[in-house]
Every structure is written in C-alpha cells, then in structure tokens.
Amino acid sequence: MPDESKRVLWESEVIVTDLIGRLIEFWGFKRNMGRTWAVLYLSPEPMGARELQDALQLSSGAVSMTLNELLRWGVIKKVWEPGQRRDHFTAEVQLWKMVSRVIAEREQKEVAAAIESCEAALRSLAGKLASSDAAERKRAELQRQRISALLGLARLGGQLLQALVSTAKVDAEALSRIELSR
C-alpha cells in the first residue's frame, strides 16, 4: 500500500471546504467543523482521524474535538470499515435532513428563549402600568405595545422555522434523488 496518508486536496476540495467552513462559521459553529464535514462529504470512502488531520492541517486534538462535535450534531457517522483498524467517519449526505434538524434543534431553542424573555418583561411591566406617576404610566404603556410586537415577531419566527422544517421533508426529495444515484 503506497503512502495513502499524504494525499493533497484538489482545488475543488479546497474551494468547497473553505466555502462550507465560512458558511458554518457564519451560522455560529466552528470553522473547522464545516471544513471537516466538507472533506468527508467529498470523499468516496470513510476517513480516519489521521487522514483528516493531514488533509486539513490540524492538530490531533482539534480533529478529535471536531469529530465529536459533528457526531453530536448528527451530521457525520461512525463507520466500521470491514478489516480496518479504527473508527472511520462518513458525512451525512442528506443535506436537507441535516440542515432542518440543526435548525429545529438550535433555532427553536432561541425562539423559545426569546418568547420567554418577552413574557417575563411584560410581567415585570405590569406594576408600572398602574403607577401613580402619569409619565411613568405612559412610558410603561408604550413598552407594553413594543414588547408585545417583539413577542409577536418571535412567535411568527417560530412558525416560519416550523414551516421550513416541514417543507424540508417535501423539497428534500429533489435533492436526495441526486444523492441516491451513486
């Protein structure tokens, strides 16, 4: 077996790994999570931690942490290659499934927190609405309206996400058909 471990990424792979890295970073994850996923996504066979380390020029520790995080998000899978020595990894290729799960899990949490904060703020405002100080009462009234609008927006956002995740299941077909035809 020749020196398989030192394979250099193609230009197409560099472009895509960087792209995914930037995008993923933009969405609040670590750049290396995106880069790692992308390398696996473009690899015909599952890859081991060592190969990833070479491909991406990362430290052993970084690879380990990154892989665990990706596993936790369910966007890569462990694979028991027949004879191989250690765990190898493949990317989840059903893109929409992946994206919608991540959105569902993470963004919905944000939305819930936002709704709760708005409700807490409205509760805290209740006393001020009956204040004897007219100016204070007026200010409180304005805030009640504005915070209610925020609350409405948060709820609407939640519904949109819900819709997006449902839609994903439908629209995914077009994409997954591409994926299935190896």
Contacts with a second copy by CB under 8 A lie at 10-13, 15-16, 18-19, 23, 26, 28, 41-42, 44, 93, 95-96, 99, 110, 113-114, 117-118, 120-122, 124-125, 128, 138-139, 142-143, 145-150, 152-153, 156, 160, 164, 171, 174-175, 178-179, 181-182
Q: Quick one: 17 or 53, whose CB is closer to a second copy?
A: 17
Quick one: which of 24, 40, 55, 67 contacts DNA (CB under 7 A)?
Answer: 67
Q: Which of 6, 97, 16 is nearest to 53 (CA)?
A: 6
Asked if 2 is part of the footprint of DNA (rule: CB under 7 A), the reply reads no
Per-residue binding letters, 87-116, with DNA (x by CB under 7 A)? x-----------------------------
Is the backbone of residue 43 left (phi > 0), alpha (psi -120 to 50) or beta?
Answer: beta
Both tokens of residue 159? 């519904």
Q: Which residues contact 5 (CB under 8 A, 6 or more apart)?
A: 50, 51, 54
